[in-house]
Amino acid sequence: MWSVVPRAGVLATLVAALAAAVSVGAGVVLDRAQERELTQALDRKVSAVAAAVVHETGRYVDTLRTVAAAAGAFEPLTAGNFAQAVEPLRHMGLAGATSIAFMVPAQDGDVDRVQALWRQRGVPDLTLTPAGPGPGHIFSIFSEAFDGTTAGAVGIDVTQAETPARALWEARRSGGVTVSDTYLLIRDRGLPEDQRQKSFVLTAPVYGAPGSPRASDPAGVRPFLGWVLMGLRGQDFIAAAVRRTTQDTADVTLTAPDADGAPAVVAAVRAHSDRRRTEHRTADVAVAQARWRLRISVVAADLPGAGPFPAAMSTAGLGLGGLLAALTFVLGTRQARADALVVAATARLRRTEAEAREHADLLTAVVDSVSDGVGVVDERGRFLLHNPAARALLGVEDSQTGAESWQEHYGIFRVDGTTPFPSGELPLARALAGEPSEQVPMVIRNAANPDGIVITVSARPLHRGAGRPGAVAVFHDVTARAAAERAIAEANAAMREELTLREAAEAGLRAARDELAAERAYLRQVLDALDVAVVTCDAGGLVVHTNRAARAAIPGVDADAGVPLTVAETSRRVRLAHPDGTPFTERDLPLLVALRGGRVDGVEAHATYADGHHHVVMMHARPLRDREGRIAGAVASSYTITALRQREAELTAFAGIVAHDLRSPLTAIGGFTEYVRDSLADGGPGHEHRQEREVLDRTLATTARMRRLIDDLLGYAAARDAVLDARDLDLRAVVDDVVTERLAALAADPTSPPPQIFVGALPSVHADPALLRQLLDNLIGNALKYTPPGQPARVDVCATPQDDGWVRVDVADRGIGIPEGQHDAIFTGFHRAHRTAGYAGTGLGLAICQRVVERHGGTITASDNPGGGARLSFTLPVARSARHTRSRVPSDRPFE
């Protein structure tokens, strides 16, 4: 009997070895599958965090690139333009951003010029402080703070800080956005170690608009203007984005090279779990032109798919293998041994059954401890097993038999959360039909999960060789991963939308810039076609445009050729003087007068250019205003009247000679005519000589008119060519003298009603006595003469002080007035507004008045007098003795 024992032992040993090999193999396969799942889960987490870092840094890079493009589009860039360009950044939630600044390069010899240029562009107190002698400097010009603590420093030389300076030079070399090495801010060095954080800068080059190259750039190349630089604090910059992505399940460390090339921590986020991190991954992420290192550490047990399931399965398999080996040994004995040992076999069988139950219980405990849900159904769809994780995920305690009722019973929907999942497509239903499935996503939403959870289901068929037919499914909760993927998808969609909007904005900006450039080019062509010199300046007095005539007349004034000049600097290249030889002061310059809100019309000046040529020019100027009515600049025009003045001088000289030569024979004719008329009158009152006397009267009247014309011609010539003997004069005394003389002349005509003349308070003036008297005599005489017949003349003479030592004198009347459209023409020589109205005159009176006023540096204008009549206004300089003291003037009173 005992001979069969060795054979049965060998057979039992083979069965046990085979069972052990199968169990261990299955455990290894499951362990490798679990390891692959852990690896995939960790790789997905690394990818998600890397994508979040790339997206967040890309948003800052795109923002800086947009600011650089906007700064380059302004012509010229000013402090106000820069503040306008960066204002939207304050509302974008740029975590960690401390400030943004505009930088410009400068050589040692250009520091003063660059400082003067940017002072004119909105930083009047700018002081550039070079770090020391060197081939190049980089100065901060504009700076805007974001965090409320970083002061916007301007004027500093950034080359004294090696790390940001190296990034600036690299940005100009590459032409793109550049990130610097990390470094510790001076203000952070005094903080405790756990509160310090590394900082870095992003910088982008700024280029001007195409078609407007600077003198230092080749034609057609976009000119380099400077850089925009954004300062960032690393921990504040990226920590929030990383923590949202990891959901507090992993430690994340982001490192970058510091100034010495060693890796330095930019930001670090630590999960709240205290367990030891067993899995680690690293990845490189691109930040501008640099690559930073990302390291993620997690607890393997926290990852989806982790657990002791492979080991438990191996252990259970070994137990079952031992049981089979024992049964094989028992069965292998002969009947005699079976009969002899039936009691012992029965006892062992009972013990083996107990062990099998124990192993089954262990297997059940193992399945129940798995974090993923496990469900097993038989061929009829009846659930044989639902571990606690499966019941927790499904949210329903009782099991439902039949695949056709699973969707409604458990609340199974497609990933959109609303479409019921078809029963025939459920993974377990497909597995019962013999079709396996992997990672099928679905949503479980029922009373236990009202908001719905996202799970993936993998199912396999169980064939009859496994013991009984059916199917097994594994449920995995991927709600967090789905939320992260949705967040990434939404972020990508938002980024694409933002990029689309930015591209549309940039396209609109380019179109507007091109349209503006085309309009500007067209306007330049129009202005260059004029023979009138045109110069425009901005509100700060900086010349911004000159047309062809102005560039030809004023050397080096081309505003597009280099650093623009100020109005004062331009005027020094052309010496301007009044007709009397008095040089123009800066406040007299037409452009500066217009910048103060004034208007300049027909101001005559003598211009001497650098080449010695002398010209007489007529100048006009107007202020330029923006939509709100504020003065945004000024425009001035001028044209040469040298030839005109030369012809006038020749005509004046000719008129003076003719008038002087005609006076003697005209006097003789007048005297002889009066003698003959008196001789005829002595013959008595007879009518035989009446016709001869009428002819002689007309001859005397004609002679008188010729004498007045000659006197006016001589006065016209003297008003321009006589030597100006200006002195301080009592204007009231001169007016009284002229009025007395005029009243005496009118008193000789009893048919003329007596005039009403009112003389107001008049100050002392600085003028030529003879020319001033001639000016007042012509104006008061015209006011008395141009009165409707039979009506008494009414004349008002008054004065109003002006700025800068000038006084305006008004001579107003209630006469017939000035015809519409002739208010400027009446100052033209030989022009008579009322030629057919029966009023005698030569048409030279007001032309003489204009010459007298212009000789004194003033202006004269004509306007309608409210209530009827005309008002003639002219300006004269106040007496020099009264310019710094308040002199007494006579009180207002009517002239009697």
Q: Which amino acid type is present at position 682?
A: D
Q: Enumerate residues 6+ apart whose C-beta is below 8 A from 758.
A: 794, 795, 796, 797, 798, 892, 893, 894, 895
- For residue 19, what is the enclosing H or E element? helix 4-73
Q: Tell whether 259 and 378 lie within a shared domain.
A: no
- pLDDT given at position 873: 94
Does a cis peptide bond (omega within 30 degrees of 0) precede residue 130? no
Continuous H helices in 370-478: 388-394, 406-410, 427-432
Q: Tell whether 681 and 599 lie within a shared domain.
A: no
CATH number at residue 680: 1.10.287
- pLDDT given at position 827: 82
Q: Rounded to an integer, what distance in angstroms lies between the CA atom of residue 562 and that of residue 557?
A: 9
Does residue 331 lie within any of the structural domains?
no
Continuous H helices in 87-131: 111-120
pLDDT tens digits, one per residue of 172-207: 998 889 998 888 776 666 677 777 778 888 999 999
Q: Tell whether 657 and 735 lie within a shared domain.
A: no
Q: Tell whether 188 and 295 lie within a shared domain.
A: yes
pLDDT at 404 over 90: no
CATH number at residue 433: 3.30.450.20
Among 243, 273, 300, which residue terminates a domain?
300
Q: Tell whether 749 and 887 lie within a shared domain.
A: yes
Does residue 366 lie within any of the structural domains?
no
Does residue 576 lie within any of the structural domains?
yes
Reading the block at residue 227, the tokens are: 């850089």
Does residue 60 lie within any of the structural domains?
no
Name the burial class of residue 876, with classes exposed (0-12), middle (13-18) and buried (19+) by CB atoms within 10 angstroms of its CB: buried
Reported as a pLDDT band with limits 50, 70 and 90, residue 729 is: very high
Among 275, 300, 325, which residue terminates a domain?
300
- pLDDT given at position 890: 45
495-523 average pLDDT score: 81
Q: Tell whether 391 and 441 lie within a shared domain.
A: yes
Chain centre distance of CA 107: 28
Q: Strand 756-759's sheet: what is its strand order?
A: 860-864, 870-877, 806-813, 794-801, 756-759, 893-895
Reported as a pLDDT band with limits 50, 70 and 90, residue 1 is: very low
Provide the 3-class DSSP secondary structure of residue 617: strand
- pLDDT given at position 519: 81
In the chain, the number of structural domains is 5
Q: Which amino acid type is present at position 535?
A: V
Q: Tell whether 589 and 662 lie within a shared domain.
A: no
Strand partners of residue 191: none
Q: Rounded to an integer, what distance in angstroms lies between the CA atom of residue 237 and that of residue 822?
A: 73
pLDDT tens digits, one per residue of 760-780: 989 999 999 888 888 898 899
DSSP 448: S
* Contact status, residue 379 vs residue 462, Cβ threshold 8 Å: no
- pLDDT given at position 836: 47
- pLDDT given at position 659: 61
Reading the block at residue 165, the tokens are: 């300076």
pLDDT at 886 over 50: no
Higher pLDDT among residues 309 and 164, named by residue:
164
Does residue 508 lie within any of the structural domains?
no
Q: Tell whether 128 and 196 lie within a shared domain.
A: yes
Q: Tell whether 420 and 551 lie within a shared domain.
A: no
pLDDT tens digits, one per residue of 651-708: 666 666 666 666 667 676 777 677 777 777 665 555 556 777 677 767 766 676 666 6
Please state, rounded to an integer, the average pLDDT across all residues of the chain: 78
pLDDT tens digits, one per residue of 35-72: 676 677 677 777 778 887 888 888 888 888 888 888 88
Does residue 25 lie within any of the structural domains?
no
Range of the domain at 225: 71-300
Q: Tell whether 599 and 710 lie within a shared domain.
A: no
Termini Cα distance of the chain: 172
pLDDT at 853 over 60: yes
Higher pLDDT among residues 290 and 724, named by residue:
290
Strand partners of residue 534: 637
Does residue 693 lie within any of the structural domains?
yes
Q: Tell whether 273 and 382 lie within a shared domain.
A: no
Does residue 362 lie within any of the structural domains?
no
Q: Rounded to an integer, what distance in angstroms lies between the CA atom of residue 674 and that of residue 445?
A: 132
Q: Tell whether 740 and 822 lie within a shared domain.
A: yes
Reported as a pLDDT band with limits 50, 70 and 90, residue 889 is: very low
pLDDT at 494 over 90: no
- For residue 318, what is the enclosing H or E element? helix 309-332
Q: Rounded to an integer, what distance in angstroms lies between the CA atom of residue 219 and that of residue 212?
A: 9
Among 245, 277, 300, which residue terminates a domain?
300
pLDDT tens digits, one per residue of 137-146: 899 999 888 8
Q: Rounded to an integer, what distance in angstroms lies between the CA atom of residue 702 and that of residue 269?
A: 111
